[in-house]
Structures are given as C-alpha cells and as structure tokens.
C-alpha cells in the first residue's frame, strides 16, 4: 500500500472583488498525480507559486482536493471521518517553529499532541522521552523554547509531531528561516528519522543541497509535476531546471558546462566528492 497516492488532483484559489464576486481564479494544483512509498525520503522542489506548499497541505488534509482523489495510507482524504486518523498518520512541520510551539516548557509542548489524543499519562511520558531522544534534545526537556536556537526550536517542533506516532512527516520548508548550522541540525534529524525509524519523509524545500540527500525528487511548476526521479536523474536536466527558474547544485552545473566544452565527465555529479572522483578518472 502506498503511503501517499493522488490522482488528477485539482485545487484552485479564488480572488474576489469588493462585491464578493470571483474576479480571478488561480489553479495551484493542475491534475497532479503523485505516489510515495512507505519509508521513502522524497523532496518536492518548485519556485514560489509552483503549488508545492498547496500539495503539502493536502497531504495532511488541511486542504481537500476540489477534483481528483488523494489517499493517505489507503484512507480517502475526502471522507470526513478519516481526517483525524490521517492527521495522526501524516504529521506536519511548518516553516516557522514559533507558530507550532505553544507551551512554555519543551517537554510540555511535545506532550500537547498526545494529550489531545486522550493518551494516558504514563504513555505520554514515554513518548515525550522517546521523541526528545530521537531529535537529540533530551537535555533541553526542562528549558523554555524561547531560549533555544532556530534549529533547536525546529527539532522540538519535529519532536512534537513524533510524539503523535506518525508514519509520515510532511515538512513545508522547515529550514527556510534557519542559518546554515540550523539547517544541518534539522536535515541530520530528518535523515536519521527516515533511516533509523523508517518514517516516510516528504520534504518541501528550495535548497538544492538538501534535495540531493533524498531518495527521490519531485519538481513542480505552475501546479504540475514536471520532473521526477532520483536526484542525479532530476538534476542532470540542467536546461529544463533553468527554464522553470530553479537552480541545480553548483558542481552539477559545472559538470554540465564542462560537457558542453567537450570534456567527457559524468552527468550524475551532485557533490564536491563526486566531482573530485570524476576529475581523477579523466585521462
């Protein structure tokens, strides 16, 4: 069973005039098909307005398809009775952790979700401890979130989702407001949860260095999926990526330019280490 399966998803935003009449329609999702397997680490890329954040909100049933169908672990998001179960299975982490952290003590914030599920206190205690351990924040359990760095706050937000025991975590540009060290902290946490806990990760980002770490990359433009594949398969389409206003990793672009000059170098270079190995193999 797929963790996520969407067929012909359509979602439109409506702009109204002062009289309340629809003046303009913007199609954020335009017949999107998507399938994600349990345990996958998938990155969704796209420039602003491409539809990636709208899609992310569908995966947690914050938005529902106007046309088409979306299933999360076999549950149809259009069925009202499924929404609460879907939100337990697919947790959501947003761009700004300050909008997601509500308590004055770290461990109390992480306990908030399970408490709302009616979980017994002894199980909540166990879940909070395990979530803190998973994001390597156990020593900060009694701290105020206000005293934490941006990266640490985002890890607390992820722990709050983990305490709900989701099978999938959807992260909507969680590193956009962080400095480089904070981004590394969060990405290390995401990768560890995926590899060690087998949690499905759906990561929306505009940082190419984060995308190269995924199992698969989905590229969106104007509400449609325009590219999908492994990072090397997607980023080897340098011209296509540039046409839709996206960058590729610098070393990937360098390799493309070298091939344009007639140098026989690999077209699947994603990191500096890849480039070094490729250059060493040249004769």
- Residue 142: is its pLDDT beyond 90? yes
Q: Which residue has the tokens 């982490």?
A: 93
List Cβ neighbours of 259 (8 Å cut-off, separation of 6 or more): 265, 267
How far apart CA 62 and CA 64 sit, in angstroms, is 7
- Residue environment code for 181-198, b if the CB has 16+ CB neighbours within 10 A, otherwise e: ebbebbbebbbebbeeee
**Collapsed DSSP state (helix, strand, coil) of residue 281:** helix
pLDDT digits (tens, 9 = 90+) for 35-54: 999 999 999 999 988 999 99
pLDDT digits (tens, 9 = 90+) for 56-89: 999 999 999 999 999 999 999 999 999 988 988 8
Q: What is the pLDDT of residue 17?
A: 76
pLDDT digits (tens, 9 = 90+) for 102-124: 889 999 999 998 888 788 989 99
- Residue 283: is its pLDDT beyond 70? no
Q: Is the dihedral of CA 183, 100, 51, 192 positive or negative?
A: positive
Q: What is the pLDDT of residue 176?
A: 84
pLDDT band of residue 178 (cuts 50, 70, 90) is confident
**Residue among 254, 215, 222, 220 at smallest CA distance from 238:** 254
Give percent above pLDDT 70 in the chain.
Answer: 100
Q: What is the pLDDT of residue 221?
A: 95
pLDDT band of residue 252 (cuts 50, 70, 90) is confident
Average confidence score pLDDT of the chain? 90
pLDDT digits (tens, 9 = 90+) for 258-280: 888 888 888 788 888 888 888 88
Find the range with the poorest average confidence among 32-46, 183-197, 249-263: 249-263
List Cβ neighbours of 59 (8 Å cut-off, separation of 6 or more): 4, 70, 72, 90, 92, 168, 170, 202
């Amino acid at each position: 069973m797929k963790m996520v399966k969407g067929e012909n998803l359509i979602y439109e935003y409506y702009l109204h005039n002062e009289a309340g009449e629809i003046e303009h329609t913007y199609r954020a999702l335009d017949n999107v098909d998507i399938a994600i397997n349990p345990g996958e680490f998938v990155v969704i890329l796209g420039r602003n307005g491409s539809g990636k954040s709208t899609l992310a909100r569908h995966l947690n049933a914050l938005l529902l398809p106007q046309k088409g169908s979306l299933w999360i672990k076999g549950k149809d998001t259009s069925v009202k009775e499924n929404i609460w179960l879907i939100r337990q299975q697919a947790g959501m982490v947003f761009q700004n952790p300050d909008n997601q952290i509500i308590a004055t003590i770290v461990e109390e914030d992480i306990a908030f979700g399970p408490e709302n599920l009616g979980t017994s206190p002894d199980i909540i205690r166990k879940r909070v401890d395990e979530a803190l351990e998973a994001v390597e924040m156990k020593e900060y359990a009694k701290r105020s979130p206000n005293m934490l760095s941006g990266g640490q706050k985002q890890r607390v937000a992820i722990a709050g989702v983990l305490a709900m025991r989701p099978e999938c975590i959807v992260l909507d540009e969680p590193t956009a407001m962080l400095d480089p060290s904070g981004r590394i902290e969060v990405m290390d946490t995401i990768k560890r949860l995926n590899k060690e806990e087998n949690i499905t990760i759906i990561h929306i980002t505009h940082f190419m260095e984060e995308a190269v770490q995924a199992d698969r990359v989905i590229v969106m433009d104007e509400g449609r999926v325009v590219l999908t594949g492994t990072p090397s398969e997607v980023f080897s389409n340098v011209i296509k990526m540039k046409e839709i206003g996206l960058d590729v990793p610098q070393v990937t672009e360098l390799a493309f330019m070298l091939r344009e000059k007639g140098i026989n170098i690999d077209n699947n270079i994603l990191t500096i280490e890849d480039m070094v190995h490729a250059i060493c193999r040249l004769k």
